[in-house]
Chain A
Amino acid sequence: MNVEHVLTTCPYCGTGCNFFLQVVDDRLIGVVPCKTDEISRGQLCIKGYNAHAFVQHPDRLKTPLVREHGELKQTSWEAALDLLAGEIKRIKEKYGPDSIAFLASAKCTNEENYLFQKLARAAVQTNNVDHCARLCHASTVTGLLYSFGSGAMTNTIPEFENADCIFVTGSNTLEAHPIIGARMLKALDRGAKIIVIDPRDTPLSRLAHIKLSQRPGSDIAWINGMIKVIIDEGLVDQDFVKTRTTDFDKLKDVVKDATPEKVESITGIKPAELAEVARVYAKADRAMIAYAMGVTQHSNGTNIVEALANLAMVTGHIGSESNGLNPLRGQCNVQGSCDSGGLPNLFPGYQRVDDEKARAKFEQAWDVKLPAKPGLTLTCAIKEAAVGKLKAMVIFGENIMMSDPDLGHVEDAIKELELLAVIDIFPTETSKFAHIVLPAACYAEKDGTFTNTDRAVRLIRKAVNPPGDAWPDWKIACELGKRLGAKGFDFSSPAEVMAEMATVTPIYGGIDHDRLDREVLRWPCPSKDHKGTRILHTQKFTKGLGTFAPVDHAPPAETPSDEYPFILTTGRNLFQYHTGTMTRRSSKLEREAPEPYVEMNKGDAKRLGISEGDRVSVSSRRGTINLKARVTERIIPGSIFIPFHYAEAAANRLTNAALDPESKIPEFKVCAADVQKG
């Protein structure tokens, strides 16, 4: 009998906790926290403790499947891969390389995402490669690239513990990033001030010193209002602004109009309360902002992110220990899948595809001519598919038929495709429509790295064998690359892929699996003797001077009307994860949150004659779903909340696919909706 404890990285949120998988003779029996791990310190959330539960579930995909006469039939890897490569070649010849799009995955490793984008760029000659970062923090990447030159957390997770002021907006940290929330609680116990600005009550907001509720879609107004107070009361960090930033005058110009009365009329926040928040934040010694999808998932998400960057820069709360602006990334490897180039306009390491020098470097490294035109984003790819311009999608580990906005439209679009190939660990709502379905190994069945939200590159280690005939995605990508006749897909391990990625990705230049096996490295880590970087922008910003963006309030794409009087926002709960593919197959998690629900305010519910537990139908201009009402005081009147985990009442049937013009992120957080009893 063989008993092993295999150290690996959690496959759920971007905190990146490490733990041991307990294995007895290739059977996964449990999870043991790792006490010496710098990030998790032997603590996990309920999802981490149950991260073994879905792995050996009977529903796992075990053999390649190909659609014949409308039905998915089992076949061999040879046959399935030959068919896939043949179809890609046919479509490329007939309609050109840009008629094909690849979706990389925030659930796959850096090495795999590197291969996925290489597949699109080097083997098919298209930059059409994107992934679900488009749906969560695309606006962070564009916004912070503009403001600072780097779109990632400026500090590390442990630093939250030592902050004097933690300012949280648009993040339900205790439920969505519980072990980061744990650090915030440590700070709270120490006496730090916690400020939460959110339209919903969250477990953290209930413990906060100051909790303010803004109207959904009004963020820039209150942020500019805060900056005005800071300027008017002389709380600006003059030194910092003078030596480290540019365009302060432009900012001053826009915030001039953010008078308390105006801000109150847009946001619903009382002037005195907002001023108090501004003072507490500005005067703190060490202040950290944390934000997540409540900020980014708006049709002006990029601007909201830039507004927060302005706030951090005026007060000088950036670039030092426990001072910074921190986007909390959602998926285990969403930071890494962006780092490894799973984006239509960027090569690995945020090098632009339309920059001739960068392109020349990759052309030389890969020995192939590369396309210069940035590719389609995920959200645009679906629009193009709907009008018949995009003909093929190859999807690695994403479930767009649950995760994308306006699912009715997504469904119409993917039905138009000549080729839909899905590579995943379970059958999903998306694979139902696929022509080819390939079974993949999950995190516990392969080696590789995830990069967590604080830029730490963390190993995942193979603990058990994949079920049936499933292969790790990196092997699938290599075999497909070879069949497409491309060079540079002869890898025999993920460590080799990382070695190549490091040579073309300066921020990963010093990273290799051997080092990662012994130490925690955070990028930028440019050389083998570099210890990695904990805090960004310490001496200067990545781009040189930080840039103030003069952004102003704009209303959301959809506002409530007589017909759709509510504002619907969507999000997660603690126990389920995203489209539920994994958590809904984990009995302890499913038991805690088995059913879809809509949260609504008590007053609203009473007016409509709805009580706790009633069945209601919620509709928007795009669709209707039926689910249970959960009546609460924890959401402001006029707003409703639905978690997006449940296929039987998919919140994204309702959401609006209106896009932020710069980052193309959809407006998941605001759409007009109606609620009816029954």
Chain B
Amino acid sequence: MREEHGNVAPVMIAKGEDPGDVRTDVPYQLMTILSNLYPWMSDGKKIAVLTRRCDEKALAEIFKRGYFDRARIVQIGLACSKEQIAACRCSDPVPSTVDIGEPHAGVGSDALSEKLMNMSSEERLRFWIYQFRKCNKCFACTANCPVCFCDECVLEERTFVPERGVPPGMSFHLIRAYHLADKCIECGECERSCPAGIPLLTFRKLVAKDFRDMYKFSPGDDKNVSPLLTTLEGEALEGDECNEC
């Protein structure tokens, strides 16, 4: 990222080019930005990318599915600032190699998750219904997501999400949560880019907790295969997911 036009912009520069006023404090979702660009970058050259811990996990999910050629990607590890860690309620903020920044500890708790878990289930449902009624179907939560990969998005399929309807209804959000259950690496980009201010990261944290408790699985490590991607005998499935649905 660098400073331009009184703003901070994501940039891609060629080797030897002057990087300008580099900034690392604005949380652009660089893996999403790179995923958009990658299919067009057919020259086979190496790509270096600023990598926070969440980006590193996103990359692992991307590599695992063969979307990027591992040999082309050079990671520049960035340790997030205390402020950013607090804003993201991030429990796991330090990348495996730190090239830029000072490592800081993560935050263990999410106040809203705790508040919600202390509510009755009816209250909790009411809370989420209010939140989702604000949804404006901008698709920011999928467009900016670094691990939303499917070519044909089920949210665009008419069976579950009728056309036009604003707000789009509960199924929109439940399908999204389910589809990301074994991929979401909790970067929080959906929540940051949601114009309705829906606490999507908290929603995710609650789903992830169940997933951890039930399957002992957390995404973001390219050696672990998702339990949703195994055969009934427990063996890893071959190839891409989501081609059918």
> Once the chains bind, are B136 and A1 in contact (CB under 8 Å)?
no
**Binding site secondary structure of chain A:** mixed
**Are B5 and A7 closer than 8 Å at their CB atoms?**
yes
- Which one of B5, B9, B33, B166 contacts A203 once the chains associate, using CB atoms below 8 Å? B166
Q: List the A residue with the shortest CB-CB distance to B39.
A: A29
Return A2 CB to nearest CB of chain B, in Å.
8
What is the bound-complex CA distance between A592 and B195, given in angstroms? 19
B133-150 near A? 1/0 per residue, CB < 8 Å: 110111110011000000
Q: Is B167 an interface residue (CB 8 A)?
A: yes
Tell whether A24 pairs with B136 under 8 Å between CB atoms, given A186-B197, A519-B6: no
Give the distance in Å from the alpha carbon of A29 to the alpha carbon of B33 in the complex: 11
With A20-B10, A574-B136 already in contact, the answer to whether A29 and B37 are too (CB < 8 A) is: yes
A33 in the interface (beta carbon within 8 A): yes
Docked pose: A48 CA to B163 CA in angstroms: 18
Note all chain A residues with C-beta closer than 8 A to B9: 5, 7, 20, 34
* A29, B26: Cβ atoms closer than 8 Å: no
Contact B163 A591 (CB under 8 A): yes
Bits for A336-354, please: 1 = Cβ < 8 Å to B, else 0.
Answer: 0000000000000000000
Segment of A172-180, A252-260, A614-622 engaged in the interface with chain B: A172-180
Main secondary structure on chain B at its contact with chain A? loop
A592 engages B10 (CB within 8 Å): no
Contact between chains at B136 and A5 (CB < 8 Å): no
Q: Is A569 an interface residue (CB 8 A)?
A: no
The answer for the CA separation of A44 and B41 in the assembled complex, in Å, is: 26
Contact with A along B55-93 (1 / 0, CB 8 A): 000000000000000000000000000000000000000
Q: How far is the CB of A350 from chain B (nearest CB, A)?
A: 28
Q: Which residues of B contact A574 (CB under 8 A)?
A: 136-137, 164, 166
Q: Tally chain A residues at the interface, Cβ within 8 Å.
A: 52
Interface flags, A180-194, vs B, CB<8A=1, else 0:
011001101100000
Interface residues of A in 29-76 (CB under 8 A from B): 29-30, 32-37, 42-46, 48-49
Give the distance in Å from the alpha carbon of A66 to the alpha carbon of B192 in the complex: 50
Contacts of B37 in A (CB 8 A): 3, 22, 24, 29
A24-B163 in contact (CB<8A): no
For B180-199 the 0/1 string (1 means CB < 8 A from A) is 00000000000011111100
* A92 interface contact, C-beta 8 A: no
Write the nearest CB–CB distance from B135 to chain A, whole angstroms. Answer: 9
Whether A42 pairs with B192 at a CB distance below 8 angstroms is yes
Q: Does A646 contact B (CB under 8 A)?
A: no
Q: Inside 8 A of A44's CB, which chain B residues have their CB?
A: 138, 140, 195
Q: Mark B1-21, 1 if CB is under 8 A from A, else 0.
A: 000111111111000000000
Task: List CB contacts (< 8 Å) of A11-32 with chain B.
Answer: 18, 20, 22, 24-25, 27, 29-30, 32
Contact A189 B164 (CB under 8 A): no
**Given known A3-B37, A593-B164, contact A49–B140 (CB-CB < 8 A):** yes
Chain B neighbourhood of A188, CB < 8 A:
134
Nearest CB of chain A from residue B34's CB, rounded to whole Å? 10
Q: Is B43 an interface residue (CB 8 A)?
A: yes
Rounded to whole angstroms, the CA-CA distance of A574 and B165 in the bound complex is 9
Residues of A contacting B163 with CB < 8 Å? 591-594
For B133, give its contact among A29, A179, A206 (CB under 8 Å). Answer: A206
User: Considering only CB atoms, which chain B residue lies closest to A48 in the complex?
Assistant: B138
Q: Which residue of A lies closest to B167 (CB)?
A: A203
Interfacial chain B residues near A179, Cβ < 8 Å: 195
Q: Name B124-140 residues within 8 Å CB distance of A.
A: 133-134, 136-140
Contact of B143 among A49, A175, A592 (CB under 8 A): A49
**Chain B positions within 8 Å of A175 at CB level:** 136, 166
Choose one: B8, B140, B164, B166; the contact of A174 (CB below 8 Å). B166
A30/B41 in contact, CB under 8 A:
no
Contact A518 B137, beta carbon cutoff 8 Å:
no
Query: What is the chain B residue whose CB lies nearest that of A202?
Result: B166
Q: How far is the CB of A598 from chain B (nearest CB, A)?
A: 14
Contact between B5 and A22 (Cβ–Cβ < 8 Å)?
no
Residue B28 lies at the interface, judged by CB distance under 8 Å to chain A: yes
Given contacts A32-B33, A575-B164, A592-B164, contact A3 B12 (CB under 8 A): yes
User: Contact partner of A185 among B10, B137, B166, B196, CB < 8 A?
Assistant: B196
Q: Which residues of B contact A518 (CB under 8 A)?
A: 5-6
Asked if B10 and A203 sit within 8 Å, CB to CB, the answer is no
B28, B45, B194 interface centre (most CB from chain A within 10 Å): B28
**Interchain CB contact under 8 A, A22 and B33:** yes
Q: Does B36 contact A (CB under 8 A)?
A: yes
A contact residues around B36 at 8 Å (CB)? 22, 29-30, 32
Q: Which B197-227 residues have a C-beta within 8 angstroms of A?
A: 197
CB within 8 Å for A43 and B166 given contacts A3-B37, A35-B26:
no
CB distance from A510 to the nearest CB of B (A): 16
CA distance A81 to B40 in the complex (A): 39
B234 to chain A, nearest CB (A): 38
Are A43's CB and B6's CB within 8 A?
A: no
Per-residue CB proximity of A227-250 to B under 8 Å, as 1/0? 000000000000000000000000
Contact residue among A18, A185, A459, A575 (Cβ-Cβ distance under 8 Å from B197): A185
B153-170 Cβ-contact flags toward A at 8 Å (1 or 0): 000100000011011000
Known: A25-B40, A43-B195. 15 other contacts (CB 8 A): A7-B7, A20-B10, A35-B27, A36-B7, A42-B193, A43-B138, A45-B138, A46-B136, A49-B138, A206-B133, A573-B164, A575-B164, A588-B139, A592-B163, A593-B163
Q: List 24 A-B contacts (CB under 8 A).
A: A5-B10, A7-B5, A20-B9, A22-B36, A32-B10, A35-B192, A43-B195, A44-B195, A45-B138, A48-B138, A49-B143, A178-B195, A179-B195, A182-B136, A185-B196, A186-B197, A189-B197, A203-B136, A203-B167, A517-B6, A518-B5, A518-B6, A574-B136, A594-B163
Contacts from A to B (Cβ < 8 Å): 1, 3-5, 7, 18, 20, 22, 24-25, 27, 29-30, 32-37, 42-46, 48-49, 174-175, 178-179, 181-182, 185-186, 188-189, 203, 206-207, 459, 517-520, 573-575, 588, 591-594
Would you list the 5 A-B pairs with minimal beta carbon distance, nearest first?
A182-B195, A3-B12, A43-B195, A24-B40, A36-B7
